[in-house]
Copies of this chain bind each other. A is one copy, B any other.
Amino acid sequence: MLTDAEVMSLVSSCKILNYKLEAVLETPERGVAIRREMLSLKLPVSSALVCLPYKGYDYSKVMGACCENVIGYMPVPVGVAGPLLLDNQQFHVPMATTEGCLVASTNRGCRAISLSGGCNSKILADSMTRGPVVRLPSACRAAEVKIWLDTSDGFSMVKEAFDETSRFARLEKLLVCVAGRNLYIRFQSQTGDAMGMNMLSKGTEQALRRLKQHFPDMEVVSVSGNYCTDKKPAAINWILGRGKSAVCEATIPGQVVKEVLKSSTAALVDLNISKNLVGSAMAGSIGGFNAHSANIVAAIYIACGQDPAQTVGSSSCITQMEAAGPDGEDLYISCTMPSIELGTVGGGTNLPPQQACLQVSPVLLHLMSFTSMLGVTSPNQPGENARQLARVVCATVLAGELSLMAALAAGHLVKSHMTHNSLLETALLMCDVTFVLLSVL
């Protein structure tokens, strides 16, 4: 066996490629260790990496799939909020975060929901998108291609090519946009339980190949023309949806609003208009009509092996509140989220710790319990697990909205009670989701 020094020397002389260290050494962990050592030598303080853990981790599922040039792993604290009573099931929601109060606050929201008999959700739509850009010799020619793609003949031909690339992909819709002689084509398809970008890419490429046979003067500029739109803010996703579109609602009795949320329905309804509707409107927001859905989305995404960069689009949400009940003291709240991009298979969900989190909430267990009870091999309808995860995301966002909005509405009142309680005040000011009194939990 080569010594570390020998390996490092071979890397320096390019006889071993740095990025292949895990693959060529006895264990991936040794590869990571040597890469760390080599990196440390270049750093001003060679002990810098000591606090970044790397041992005892199974790198085999990471290699060639989830990360390259690995030097360890970042441990992100995972808290749990719940039970979240959603569609008559209880969920425990794992949240990976370093933002103080976020889990506690979400937990308070879950408690308010549970005491109110739970919340209910619906999946409104489910399809991933890919939006390549192609080019024709002229705008009029691009228009012809668009008009043809808008016919059922055109659609069928493209769909046939698209669908043969996967057993899940089934082209549902095309949105074809002409911009001069450029053509942007938004392919839309269900993707089973996968988030689906790769499935869409593959199908799109195949479809474009077929399209090019039909229109040989068409040039494929790029398989993504930002018309998907992935990980960038875009009205197209807000309006037409991307991934899962979900809505969730709950009615919180006046007493729960008062005792658990320490607020009043009137104050919350008013605040929701002033902040989530008018405030966001004045700030020029598209899709940001909520208090902090991104906090919840990012925390669940990191815990559950989703792509946290997709927080950008997945956190789009409009939160609405109304007075309800005979005397208008109950609070009706809904969260509508048109573009939750996620999956329960593929990518980061393949890693065991992320899988564990997916199972903390009964999402994947669905499958298991069905399996054990029904004795069937097929776990669940394709896509059901992913859609269930989207419902959980939407419901947890609702819990988070409830709690933070209540805390904000109570803010100035609470404040006046604690002039002498600087410690608590400090605690409150420590967090963005602020003002959540731990004592209410």
Assembly CA distance A277 to B232 (angstroms): 12
Q: How far is the CA of A189 from the CA of B63 in the complex (A)?
A: 44
Q: What does the 1/0 interface line of A52-63 toward B look like (CB < 8 Å)? A: 110011010010
The quantity of this chain's copies bound in the complex is: 4
Residues of B within 8 A of A76 (CB): 73-76, 302
- What is the CB-to-nearest-CB distance from A71 to chain B, in angstroms, rounded to a whole number? 5
Interface residues of A in 134-172 (CB under 8 A from B): 135, 138-140, 142-144, 146-147
- Give Cα distance in the complex from A167 to B104, angstroms: 30
Contact status of A347 and B99, CB under 8 A, knowing A69-B79, A138-B249? yes
Q: Which of A1-9, A177-185, A252-260 forms contacts with chain B? A: A177-185
Interface size on A, residues (CB 8 A): 176
Q: With A100-B65, A240-B239, A274-B182 in contact, do A234 and B288 touch (Cβ < 8 Å)?
A: yes
Given contacts A67-B97, A124-B147, A226-B276, contact A179 B74 (CB under 8 A): no
Residue from A67, A122, A236, A288 whose CB has the most chain B CB atoms within 10 Å: A67
**Chain B, Cβ-Cβ closest to A290:** B232
A309 within 8 A of partner (CB)? yes
Q: Does A214 contact B (CB under 8 A)?
A: no
Known contacts A71-B80, A79-B69, A277 near B275 by CB under 8 Å: no
A261 interface hit (Cβ, 8 Å): no
Q: Which chain A residues (200-235) contact chain B, with CB distance < 8 Å?
A: 201-202, 205, 220-235
Contact of A353 among B53, B95, B285, B303 (CB under 8 A): B53
Contact B98 A52 (CB under 8 A): no
Other-chain contact of A92, B39, B59, B293, B294 (Cβ < 8 Å) = B39
Tell whether A295 is near chain B: CB-to-CB under 8 Å: yes
Q: Is the CB of B283 within 8 A of A239?
A: yes
CB pair B178 A247 closer than 8 Å: yes
Which residue in B19, B139, B294, B320 is a CB contact (below 8 Å) of A179? B320
Q: Which residues of B contact A103 (CB under 8 A)?
A: 67-69
| Chain B residues whose C-beta falls within 8 Å of the C-beta of A438 in the assembled complex | 19, 68
Which residues on B sit within 8 Å (CB–CB) of A201? 429, 434
A10 interface residue per 8 A CB criterion: no
Q: Say yes or no: is A409 at the interface (Cβ < 8 Å to chain B).
A: yes
Query: Which residues A15-47 have CB closer than 8 A to chain B?
Result: 19, 35, 39, 42-45
Q: A45-B368, A347-B98 are in contact. Are A309 and B318 (CB under 8 A)?
A: no
Quick check: is A355 within 8 A (CB to CB) of the other chain?
yes
**Which residue of chain B has its CB nearest to the CB of A66?**
B98
Query: Is A351 an interface position by the 8 A CB rule?
Result: yes
Interface pair B181/A249, CB less than 8 Å apart: yes
Whether a CB of chain B sits under 8 angstroms from the CB of A430 is yes
Q: Is A113 an interface residue (CB 8 A)?
A: no
- What are 29 A-B residue pairs whose CB atoms fall within 8 Å in the complex? A49-B356, A56-B56, A62-B98, A67-B95, A74-B96, A99-B309, A99-B347, A99-B348, A122-B140, A122-B144, A133-B274, A140-B249, A177-B239, A198-B430, A223-B408, A226-B276, A226-B291, A229-B288, A231-B294, A236-B283, A236-B284, A238-B282, A239-B240, A281-B318, A284-B286, A284-B287, A294-B309, A298-B309, A302-B308
